[in-house]
Structure 1
Amino acid sequence: MPTYPADAIVLRRLDYGEADRILTLLTREHGKLAAIAKGARRAKARMANSLDLFARSQMMLAKGRNLDVVAQAERRGDVRNISGDFQRTAYACLVAEVADKVLEERHPVDDVFELVVATIERLNVPERSPRAESIWFVMRILELLGYQPQLVSCASCGEPLPEAACWFSPLLGGALCGRCGAHDQAGSPVSVNGLKVLRVMAAGDGMLYDRLRLKDDLLQEVEAALEAQLEYHLDRRLKSLDFIRSMRH
Structure 2
Amino acid sequence: MGVSKFRGIIIKESDVGEADKILTFFTKEYGKLHVRAKGARKAKSKYMASSQIFSYGDFVVFTGNNFKSLTQADIIEGFYDIRTDYEKLAYGSAVLEIVDKSTYEESENQEILRLILRTLQNLNKKDSEGRLIFSAFIFKYLQISGYTPELTSCVECGEEIDLNNLYFGIEGLLCKNCRNNSSHSTAVNYAAVYALNYIIDSDIKNMYNFKADKNTVDNLRKMADIFLENLDLNLKSLELLENI
TM-score when normalising by structure 2: 0.92
Q: Which residue of 1 aligns with 2:225?
A: 227
The Cα of 1:66 is off from its aligned counterpart by 3.0
SS in 2 for 1:92: helix
Q: Are 2:192 and 2:219, in contact at CA under 8 Å, matched by a contact in 1? A: yes
Q: Are 2:132 and 2:220, in contact at CA under 8 Å, matched by a contact in 1? A: no
Q: Which residue of 2 aligns with 1:204?
A: 202
* Residues 8-32 of structure 1, C-alpha deviations (whole Å, 9 max, x = no match): 2111111112211111111111111
Distance 1:111 1:208 in 2: 13
SS in 1 for 2:21: strand
> Going by fraction, where is helix more abundant, 1 or 2?
1
* Aligned counterpart in structure 2 of residue 242 of structure 1, from 219, 239, 242: 239
Q: Which residue of 1 aligns with 2:101?
A: 101
Q: Are 1:166 and 1:181, in contact at CA under 8 Å, matched by a contact in 2? A: no
Q: Are 2:133 and 2:208, in contact at CA under 8 Å, matched by a contact in 1? A: no
Q: Are 2:184 and 2:226, in contact at CA under 8 Å, matched by a contact in 1? A: no
Q: Which residue of 1 aligns with 2:144?
A: 144
SS in 2 for 1:132: helix
* Residues 198-224 of structure 1, C-alpha deviations (whole Å, 9 max, x = no match): 222222277585332321x32222111
SS in 2 for 1:43: coil
Structure 2: 5+ residue stretches without partners: none
SS in 2 for 1:48: coil
Distance 2:72 2:243 in 1: 37
Q: Which residue of 1 aligns with 2:11?
A: 11
Q: Give the percent of matched residue pairs that are identical in Structure 1 and Structure 2.
A: 29
Distance 1:241 1:75 in 2: 28
Structure 1: 5+ residue stretches without partners: none
Q: Are 1:28 and 1:113, in contact at CA under 8 Å, matched by a contact in 2? A: yes
TM-score when normalising by structure 1: 0.91
SS in 2 for 1:49: coil
Q: Which residue of 2 aligns with 1:122?
A: 122
* Residues 158-206 of structure 1, C-alpha deviations (whole Å, 9 max, x = no match): 1232322311110xx1001122223223211112222222222222277
SS in 2 for 1:139: helix
Distance 1:209 1:50 in 2: 28
When the two structures are aligned, how many residues end up with a matched partner?
243
SS in 2 for 1:98: helix
Distance 2:217 2:236 in 1: 20
Q: Which structure is richer in relative contact order (CA contacts within 8 A, separation 6 or more)?
A: 2
Distance 1:66 1:122 in 2: 37
Q: What are the equivalent positions in structure 2 for 1:67-86 lying under 5 Å apart?
A: 67-86=67-86
SS in 2 for 1:210: coil
Report the residue type matching 1:237 in the other structure: N
Q: Are 1:194 and 1:222, in contact at CA under 8 Å, matched by a contact in 2? A: yes
Q: Are 1:200 and 1:209, in contact at CA under 8 Å, matched by a contact in 2? A: no
Q: Which residue of 2 aligns with 1:181?
A: 179
SS in 1 for 2:202: coil
Report the residue type matching 1:190 in the other structure: V
